[in-house]
Amino acid sequence: MATDYSKETSDLFSEWAVAEELTLKPLILKQIKELNLKDKFVLDLGCGDGRYSKIIAEKGAKIISFDASQNQIENAEKLNKHPKVAYHVKDISNLSEIPSATVDLVFLNLVVPDLKDKTRLSMVFSEISRVLKKSGIFLFSLIHPLYFSPEQDS
């Protein structure tokens, strides 16, 4: 991913996540609630602090969660540890360790704007297409709520 969250940036991102709490989170939770995730295999790409990984795991799924930022993964392991979630520092444009057509759900939240160019976006989407089962679900958001923050230019 293009953004490498430092400790300071990771902490700031987590503090500013209130915008997501009020906008995207209710929609995401509604979608997750409607899914039968018991014993499903899920990838959380760009997992950040792992808040959704833990929620999905609590529905019975086994999850592998990737983020490019070591700081975000450390936060996830501290804040949202769960026995069914494995957190890893990883560039999500190469998922070669995940076999083709084995994933039931790919979750990609607040990542697309960080990809920056269409080549990277194409690589990520190609890998997602490869790992998803034919009946798999791709749940993602395109708009990052922080881009609409009144302090976005400060």
If we measure between CA atoms, which residue out of 2, 25, 46 comes closest to residue 145? 25
Crossing angle (nearest 10°) for helices 7-16 and 70-79:
50
Tally of domains in the chain:
1
pTM: 0.80
- Per-residue pLDDT of 72-125, as tens digits, reads 999 999 999 999 999 999 999 999 999 999 999 999 987 876 777 889 889 999
**Within a domain: 64:** yes
pLDDT of residue 98: 98
**Domain boundaries, position 116:** 37-136
Q: How far apart are CA 126 and CA 139, in angstroms?
A: 15
CATH number of domain containing 120 = 3.40.50.150
Q: Which two tokens stand for residue 135?
A: 């009946």
- Per-residue pLDDT of 111-144, as tens digits, reads 876 777 889 889 999 999 999 999 999 998 876 5
pLDDT of residue 127: 97
**Within a domain: 154:** no
**Within a domain: 87:** yes
**Cα 113 to the chain's mean position, in Å?**
13
Lookup result for tokens 């070669």: 96
Q: What are phi and psi of 55, to 5 degrees?
A: -60, -45
**Within a domain: 16:** no
User: Is 26 a residue whose pLDDT tops 80?
Assistant: yes
**Within a domain: 14:** no
